Amino acid sequence: MRVGTTGGGHGTGTPAGPSFDPYVTLPELVPLRTAARAGDRPAVRSYLVALDSVERLSFAVGLLAEEDGTEAMYEKAAAEHPGDPLPRTLLADRYVRIGWAVRSGARAQHVSRDRFDRCHEWLRRAERILIEVCAEQPGGARP
């Protein structure tokens, strides 16, 4: 992992410490994030299918799931290409992240019943999608 510098040493240019931002440590991922934020489905798909391992694909899908607002792009792609596992997998992972964001990071006793219910609804939506994808693609994680 590369260590990013932020010039955090009060103008001295000294490293401020390690960067845990994957787009700083792996700048080759920036075009993927840019495409996702722009809603450029063909560019997102091209980037993902060009990855050379399931591990890289899984990592990239996880990063995309963190991008707020991308679920609309995945919903549209899943509706237009219902037999394609990639947009449905992206959508399901995004739904999981939305669910956990709704629940919040608070301790369970501090999370309202409404938040739990909404979190679980997002998780059930993701689960239904993933059950379908896994049933259709039992042998592979590649699109």
Count of CB atoms situated within 10 Å of the CB of 69: 10
**Greatest CA separation found in the chain?**
56
Q: Mean pLDDT, to the nearest integer, of 20-40?
A: 94
Q: Mean pLDDT, to the nearest integer, of 124-129?
A: 97
In whole angstroms, what is the distance from residue 123 CA to residue 81 CA? Answer: 22
Residue that has been written with the tokens 């301790």 in this structure: 107
In whole angstroms, what is the distance from residue 20 CA to residue 32 CA? Answer: 18
The pLDDT score that the predictor gives to residue 103 is 86
The pLDDT score that the predictor gives to residue 126 is 98
- Cα radius of gyration rounded to whole Å, the chain: 18
Residue 67, token pair as written in the block: 């991008």
Is residue 141 within 8 A of residue 57, CB to CB? The reply is: yes
Question: pLDDT tens-digit profile of 56-111?
Answer: 999 999 999 999 999 999 999 999 999 999 999 999 999 999 998 988 887 877 77
Q: Count Cα neighbours of 56 within 13 Å in the Cβ-side half-sphere.
A: 11
Find the length of the chain.
Answer: 143
